[in-house]
Amino acid sequence: MAYDSNNIFAKIIRGEIPCKKVYEDAEVLAFEDISPAAPLHVLVIPKGEYRSFDSFARKASPEEMVHFFRVVQKLAEELDVKESGYRLITNHGAEGGQTVDHFHIHLLGKKPMSKLLATE
Ligand code: 5GP
């Protein structure tokens, strides 16, 4: 499926919708989730047009991928959950529970996570 440049996160990247920014560079943006599922709930997104993990993994350059995941790691460290622990989630497609069609990683922490994810 084609990337839809009118998705919410594309609008956030363009500055058309506000966000609580946590980090930004030329390729990556991180901001607080509007409906947090944990005391720390940050969304990390590449600025490139990737619909989900699937297209990011297939199309992004190795440099872009490494940079993206290094930012995720650095944010976890700077947001002080490296020692306490954190959870990374990315949803792909309808049955994965994806609701915004721009690749994003959820960085969750500052509370103990449940052992298993809810599946219904
Ligand atoms: P998904 O369900 O696609 O994995 O995650 C989408 C996430 O985006 C959800 O956790 C949802 O709360 C968040 N979200 C949806 N709309 C907005 C918005 O306008 N601003 C922010 N900051 N987060 C949003």
63-77 pLDDT tens trace: 999 999 999 999 999
74-107 pLDDT tens trace: 999 999 999 999 999 999 999 999 999 999 999 9
Q: Which residues line ligand 1 (CB under 6 A)?
A: 8, 17, 19, 31-35, 43, 91, 97-100
The CA distance from 106 to 9, in Å, is 13
Q: How far is the CA of 79 from the centre of ligand 1 (A)?
A: 20
What is the fold of 8-109?
HIT family, subunit A (3.30.428)
**108-113-115 Cα angle (round to 5):** 135
Q: Residues 30-42: what's their mean pLDDT?
A: 98
* 33: confidence class by pLDDT, cuts 50, 70, 90: very high
What is this structure's pTM? 0.96
Boundaries of every domain in the chain? 8-109
Task: Indicate if the pLDDT at residue 117 is higher than 80.
Answer: no
